[in-house]
């Protein structure tokens, strides 16, 4: 029994339509949709959107909570949006906006220029901080992972691009 799947998805001002196996949410920030698989159904009630398994198979029980979370993410995305923060540490490492793209100086012999995909906004409030915002949680997380992958934090000095809330386990250097 899925504890997550049992809970209804609260709408919070978004208008949600269910058409066959497609759940579409519209809100002040935009519109998103998710395609359900055959083993789960969605229905609209007074409490919100309820996701329920079609049968009691292992696949249906596994997909139940997952699709409830996916529907919750599209509702949250169109009403509030999602945000990820990255921090850059290291001497001479910094980021700057170049139009809608971001220019990263990460210790390479060249500058790294990252073009933001559609639906994603990048911002650099300080040279060592990057803020990624958008309505699609998966896309925001993927953009953050792509930027972090240019120079992940190393364990000896902690230099590189990391998530703002990430803990970098530090190692001790060589001993004589």
Q: What is the DSSP string of 91-141?
A: TT-EEEEETTEEEEE-SSSS-EEEPPPTTEEEEEEETTEEEEEES-HHHHH
pLDDT of 76 over the 90 cut: yes
Examine the domain organization and report whether 53 and 110 are in the same domain.
Answer: no
Q: How many other CB atoms are found less than 10 A from the CB of residue 121? A: 13
pLDDT of 5 over the 90 cut: no
pLDDT at 61: 87
pLDDT at 1: 60
Examine the domain organization and report whether 101 and 123 are in the same domain.
Answer: yes
In a domain, 175, yes or no: no
Examine the domain organization and report whether 155 and 90 are in the same domain.
Answer: yes
pLDDT at 175: 86
pLDDT at 2: 63
In a domain, 168, yes or no: no
Residues 173 and 68: their CA atoms lie apart, in Å, by 46
Examine the domain organization and report whether 86 and 158 are in the same domain.
Answer: yes
pLDDT at 167: 92
Range of the domain at 147: 82-163
Average pLDDT over residues 54-67: 89
| Residues β-bridged to residue 26 | 15, 31
pLDDT of 69 over the 90 cut: yes
Closest CA relative to residue 33, chosen from 63, 78, 64, 81: 78
In a domain, 171, yes or no: no
Residues 153 and 169: their CA atoms lie apart, in Å, by 10
pLDDT, tens digit, for every residue of 89-138?
Answer: 999 999 999 998 999 999 999 999 999 999 999 999 999 999 999 999 99
Examine the domain organization and report whether 68 and 140 are in the same domain.
Answer: no
Examine the domain organization and report whether 154 and 87 are in the same domain.
Answer: yes
- Rounded to the nearest integer, the mean pLDDT of the chain is 92
| Domain limit, last residue, from 79, 98, 123 | 79
Residues 91 and 128: their CA atoms lie apart, in Å, by 10
Helix axes 137-150, 58-79, angle to 10 degrees: 80
Whole-structure pTM value: 0.89
CB 40 within 8 A of CB 71: no
Q: Quick one: tokens of 71? A: 């529907």
State the pLDDT confidence band at 3, using cuts at 50, 70 and 90. confident
pLDDT, tens digit, for every residue of 130-171?
Answer: 999 999 999 999 999 999 999 999 999 989 999 999 999 999
């Amino acid at each position: 029994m899925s504890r997550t799947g049992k809970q209804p998805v609260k709408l919070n001002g978004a208008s949600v339509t269910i058409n066959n196996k497609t759940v579409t949410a519209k809100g002040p920030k935009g519109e998103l949709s998710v395609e359900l698989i055959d083993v789960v159904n969605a229905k609209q009630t007074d409490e919100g959107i309820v996701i329920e398994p079609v049968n009691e198979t292992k696949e249906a029980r596994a997909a139940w909570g997952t699709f409830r979370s996916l529907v919750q993410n599209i509702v949250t995305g169109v009403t509030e949006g999602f945000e990820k923060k990255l921090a850059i540490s290291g001497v001479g490492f910094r980021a700057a906006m170049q139009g809608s793209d971001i220019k990263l100086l990460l210790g390479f012999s060249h500058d790294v220029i990252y073009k933001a995909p559609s639906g994603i906004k990048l911002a650099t409030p300080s040279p060592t901080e990057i803020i990624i915002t958008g309505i699609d949680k998966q896309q925001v997380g993927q953009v953050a992972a792509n930027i972090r992958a240019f120079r992940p934090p190393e364990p000896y000095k902690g230099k590189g691009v990391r998530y703002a809330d990430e803990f970098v386990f530090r190692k001790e250097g060589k001993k004589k």
